[in-house]
Amino acid sequence: MVDSFTTPSAAPAQESRRDPRPAVLLLHGLCANPLELMPLARTLRTAGYVVDAPALSGYGVSPDQRDRGAVTRFEDWLSLAVRHFDDLAARHERVVVGGLSMGSVLALAVSLRRQAAAQLLLSTSLHFDGWNVSPWRRLLPLAFVPPLRQWLNFRERAPYGIKNERLRAWVAQAMVSEHVSAAGADTLSAAALYQASRLIRFVRGGLPMVQAPTLILHASEDDVSGPRSVQELQSRLGTPAEEIEIHWFHHSYHMLTLDNERSAVANVARDFLLNRVPLGAPQGHAVSHPPFSNPTASRPFPHEETFHEQHA
C-alpha cells in the first residue's frame, strides 16, 4: 500500500556487469495499451536505447481484449510499474521513465519510488481541463461514490485526442468494431477514473521531491489536459530549472505519439535522451549508431507537420 513518500532508491546492485546502454520504461495511458507508444518506442530503439513498454493489468486494456477485467487500485498500478523499472535496473546501469497522459503521471509516481536517470512526460494529465472536456466533469466526484463507481462508464467522444482526421476516422472505426483502438478504449469506467484521481493527488503532493532531468511535451490544443498541467510541473517539480525542457506542439491534440507530429515528438525525445542520458558502451568498444529513420514511414498516415515550439 502506498501511503507515504519515500526517498527514491536504486534497485539492488547486481554482481554481474550491467548493460551500459540506457533502458527506457514507457507507460501507456489509462484504459489504453502500448500500441499508442510504438512510434516513440521504435525511434528510441533505432537510436540504440533498450525500451520496455509493458501492458499493465488492471490499468490498461489489451487491443484484443473485450473483457477488460477488474480495475485495480492505483497502488497496484504503481507496484507493477516499479517492478518493471527494477527489472530494467537489474540489467542496465541507467533507466529512464516516461509515459503518455496518465502514463506520464504514473511515471512521476515511479520517480517517487526510484531514482530515474531522466523523465519523458508527454501530455501529462494532472488536470482534466482541455477544450473537449465536458463542463459536467466537475460533477464527476459524485460518480466516485462506492455504489456508483462499480458500474458507471463514460463513453469517449471525438476527436479522441487526435487532430489528424484520417487517423481519427480509423480510431473511431476500431472503437465501434473492437471497443479498443491504438488510442485506448471506447469507454472509461468510473472506477478507473477514481483511481486515476487518487494517483494524481499522490503525485501532485510529491512533485517537489522529483529531481530527475525532465522533458515535457504538450500540445497547445490538447483536448484533454490544458497548459495548467505543464505550468504546475514547471513550477513545482524539484528538478532544477536548467534540467527541465519544454516543447509545445501546435498541430496535434492529446495523443502526441500518434497524431500529426508523432515523428517530431519522437525525435525531440530521442535528442533529449542523447544529450541527457547518452548511450554507453563497454570499455574499449566503440558505439555504432544506426541511422535515424522515420519510425512510421510505412504507416498509412498522412503527411506529418514538424513545427513546434521549445520553451526553456
pLDDT value of residue 90: 97
Helix-helix angle 74-91:190-206, to 10 degrees: 60
All cell numbers assigned to 5: 513518500
Position with higher pLDDT, 260 vs 172 = 260
Nearest Cα neighbor of 51 from 83, 96, 93 is 96
pLDDT value of residue 284: 33
At 170, give phi and psi (nearest 5°): -65, -40
Average per-residue pLDDT in the chain?
80
At 68-107, the pLDDT tens digits run: 557 789 999 999 999 999 999 999 999 999 999 999 999 9
What does pTM read for this prediction?
0.80
d(CA 236, CA 35) in angstroms, rounded, equals 31
At 25-53, the pLDDT tens digits run: 999 999 888 999 999 999 999 999 999 99
202 touches 107 (CB < 8 A): no
At 94, give phi and psi (nearest 5°): -135, 140
Other CB atoms within 10 A of residue 143 CB: 17
pLDDT value of residue 165: 80
Q: How far is CA 167 from CA 158, 223, 258, 263, in A?
A: 12, 16, 8, 15
